[in-house]
């Protein structure tokens, strides 16, 4: 009897310890997230403040800077909007409340649609998009089309941002029994091996010194991973510095 009681007490204590550890982890997680968010927001805000103050202090009447400072202000505001949009997407996904609205659709058409959407962006750095699928060859998948579109947009945008002028990005599709394996591959700057394990973390960037305005939000790949996990699929990356990077993920056939 006494033995049972003491076992119950030990079990209870173990349960509580695990619970406390979990709460502590969640607390740390929240603190870290808030610290990251405020850090990311601070830079564009203080840039905007700087430009506006200079304009008000006489810059407005100086044609050699006024337009330039307004354009820079606009760029910083765009960045804040991008950040808030990404935060909105990620908090939605992390709440676990959003359901994936799965339908059957042709992935080949989605590739074409996203290529068209990002065409100007790619052209500005002379990057060529190549699709490994053919017009008369539909690739039926079963997934949330809008979310998978977001995955493709994020990966292709990265291939442009971290690509090289005159480079190319290829989207290939491989048949694997129940799934399709999709690869987005670029011949850009690549990623050194030590960064690979942390790449999908929120706010993780390889080049910390990259301008916070030019660079992305550091949330793109975290969003990609969340969306694919909500589809019970995985995403992987392989890369060689100066040679290029390939992201691959699977989608259920439809
Ligand atoms: P960001 O908004 O900074 O692009 P992401 O989460 O999309 O954030 O990517 C995280 C980091 O991974 C980037 O800062 C970049 O250093 C690296 N990265 C992502 N995609 C590529 C790529 N195709 N080639 C090289 N590096 C990449």
Residues 8-65 pLDDT 10s: 888 888 888 888 888 888 888 888 888 989 988 999 999 999 999 999 999 999 999 9
Residues ≥6 apart with Cβ < 8 Å to 204: 195, 198, 218, 221
pLDDT score, position 94: 86
Measured from the CB, is residue 245 less than 6 Å from ligand 1?
yes
The confidence score (pLDDT) of residue 1 equals 77
Q: Give me the pLDDT at residue 215, please.
A: 66
| Predicted local distance difference test score (pLDDT) of residue 210 | 59
Residue 163, pLDDT above cutoff 90: yes
Report the pLDDT value the prediction gives residue 47, as an integer from 0 to 100: 95
Distance 205 CA to ligand 1 centre (A): 6
pTM of the model: 0.86
Same-domain status, 91 and 116:
no
CA distance 40 to 46: 11
The residue contributing the CA closest to ligand 1 atom 4 is: 216
- What are 51's two structure tokens? 């430009």
Among 76, 95, 114, the domain-final residue is 95
46/118 same-domain check: no
Looking at the fold, whether 15 and 123 belong to one and the same domain comes out as no
Q: What is the pLDDT of residues 215-244, one digit of tens each?
A: 678 999 999 999 999 999 999 999 999 999
* Distance between CA atoms of residues 190 and 128, nearest Å: 17
Tell me how far apart the alpha carbons of residues 81 and 44 are, in angstroms, rounded to a whole number.
10
133 neighbors 208 (Cβ within 8 angstroms): no
CB of 185 shorter than 6 A to ligand 1: no
| Residue where one domain finishes, among candidates 72, 95, 118 | 95
Q: Chain-wide mean pLDDT for the chain?
A: 92
Show the domain range for 86. 2-95
What's residue 30's pLDDT? 84
For ligand 1, atom 19: residue with the closest CA: 158
Q: Whose CA is nearest to atom 7 of ligand 1?
A: 220
Same domain, 244 and 120: yes
> For the chain, where are the E strands, in sequence order?
102-106, 128-131, 140-144, 168-176, 179-186, 235-240, 244-252
The CATH code of the domain that includes 248 is 3.30.565.10
pLDDT above 80: residue 213: no
Check residue 4 and give its pLDDT: 87
Examine the domain organization and report whether 199 and 225 are in the same domain: yes
Together in a domain, 168 and 46 = no
With cut-offs at 50, 70 and 90, classify the pLDDT of residue 205: confident
Domains contained in the chain, number: 2
3-state secondary structure of 17: helix
Q: What is the pLDDT of residues 67-97, one digit of tens each?
A: 999 999 999 999 999 999 999 999 889 888 8
Residue 243 contacts residue 190 (beta carbons within 8 Å)? yes
Task: Quote the CA–CA distance of 223 and 225 in Å, as a whole number.
Answer: 5
């Amino acid at each position: 009897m006494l033995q049972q009681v003491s076992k119950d007490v030990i079990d209870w204590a173990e349960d509580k310890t695990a619970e406390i550890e979990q709460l502590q982890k969640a607390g740390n997680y929240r603190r870290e997230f808030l610290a990251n968010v405020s850090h990311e927001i601070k830079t564009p805000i203080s840039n905007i403040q700087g430009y506006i103050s200079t304009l008000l202090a006489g810059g407005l009447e100086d044609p050699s800077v006024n337009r330039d400072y307004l354009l820079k202000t606009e760029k910083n505001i765009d960045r804040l909007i991008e950040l808030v949009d990404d935060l909105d997407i990620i908090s939605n996904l992390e709440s676990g409340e959003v359901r994936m609205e799965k339908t059957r659709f042709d992935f080949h058409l989605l590739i074409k649609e996203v290529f068209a959407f990002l065409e100007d962006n790619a052209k500005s750095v002379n990057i060529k998009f190549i699709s490994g699928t053919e017009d008369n060859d539909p690739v039926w998948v079963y997934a949330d089309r809008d979310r998978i579109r977001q995955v493709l947009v994020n990966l292709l945008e990265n291939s442009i941002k971290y690509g090289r002028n005159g480079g190319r990005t290829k989207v290939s599709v491989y048949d694997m029994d129940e799934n399709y394996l999709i690869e987005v591959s670029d011949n850009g700057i690549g990623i050194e091996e030590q960064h690979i394990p942390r790449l999908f973390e929120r706010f993780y960037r390889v080049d910390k010194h990259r301008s916070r305005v030019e660079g992305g939000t550091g949330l793109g790949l975290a969003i990609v991973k969340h969306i694919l996990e909500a589809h019970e699929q995985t995403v992987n990356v392989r890369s060689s510095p100066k040679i290029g990077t390939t992201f691959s993920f699977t989608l259920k056939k439809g």
